[in-house]
Homo-oligomer: A and B are copies of this chain.
Amino acid sequence: MNSDNSMENQRPLILVTNDDGITAKGIRSLVEAVQPFGEILVVAPDKPQSGMGHAISVHDPLRLKKSSVFQGIEAYASSGTPVDCVKLAICELLKNRKPDLLVSGINHGDNSSTNVLYSGTMSAAVEGAMEDIPSVGFSLQDFAADADFTASQFVVKQVVEKCLSSEFPHHVCLNVNIPKVDEKELKGIKICRQARAYWRDSFDRRIDQFGNPYYWLTGEFENFDNGEDTDVFALNNGYASIVPTQFDMTAYHVMSDFNNWKL
């Protein structure tokens, strides 16, 4: 990937990652969809890394191994998180060339609303935004390992074509979610804001073979947001949602409240 071959460098370089692991159907569907648009480099986790958020490996060293999962495409599996994969791709594999686009996914499961915070798929895209690379996370509202990504591939192609032909604002990325519908039932693609919806968590408490308790995280997603401009509303109405996403978490609207504390 440090090639000086100028012919090769004429095509856009697209970095592909995910959080379900390099063998997931979602990333295979993503590679298939983006392959016509440029030169592809895949760097993805060697095992499922769902729910890893923006985690990075601080205490453990990382492994990075060439993978033959994708025929004719340069691919690496890493022992790290999705964000680690992006960092390894940029710093270790691509030293002399910045990707023209980073795509992450297609996630098996919805990353709308506050799920953006827990999502390894979206954290990879946010990491791309920090590096000022146009970056997009794609997620399908279907957790099944054999989910049908046909409608998702249609959306990927629409979005990637625009990303490569348009001005992409600096230091933002896109959170794209696709509803679980047939391609012909998809009503369209809407630019949205992140809904105010949260997980109502619970734990499934069980007893192991030694009589000790252990806990599985479970829960239900609850939407407290009636806005028709949200990602959750779009998905519930058969549209794919795109939330332009940034990483300044400052709560500007309450700065004066805290200034009044006179600390």
Contacts and interface: CB of A to CB of B under 8 A. Distances in A.
Interface stretch (A7-15, A25-33, A145-153, A201-209): A201-209
Nearest to A230: B250
B172 A263 contact: no
Nearest to A170: B254
Interface stretch (A35-43, A59-67, A99-107): A59-67
A145 to B, nearest CB: 13
Stoichiometry, as copies per complex, reads 2
A60 B131 CA distance: 31
A245 B255 contact: no
Interface in A2-59: 48, 50-59
Interface residues of A, number: 78
A263 B57 contact: no
Contacts of A257: 167, 169, 244
Given A83-B118, A194-B250, 11 more contacts: A53-B123, A61-B216, A64-B215, A87-B201, A117-B123, A158-B263, A191-B255, A191-B259, A193-B255, A244-B255, A246-B251
